Amino acid sequence: MDILLIKLFVAHMMGDFFLQWDSWVKEKEEKKLRSSKLYLHILIHGILLVLLL
């Protein structure tokens, strides 16, 4: 269980802080659900989860 939580945490940190640029964050804040960067960000998180789990 602890290993799973660590993997989830690492995937989340990588997706949010290393693989997301400031311009993506600004676009997501401005366009909300219409932002293509939002869906790219979700895809990156999904790929990281698959790779780490």
Q: 4 near 38, Cβ under 8 Å?
A: no
Residue with tokens 């640029």: 21
pTM of the model: 0.85
Residue-wise pLDDT tens for the chain (53 aa)? Answer: 899 999 999 999 999 999 999 999 999 999 999 999 999 999 999 999 999 98
Q: Which two tokens stand for residue 44?
A: 């990156």
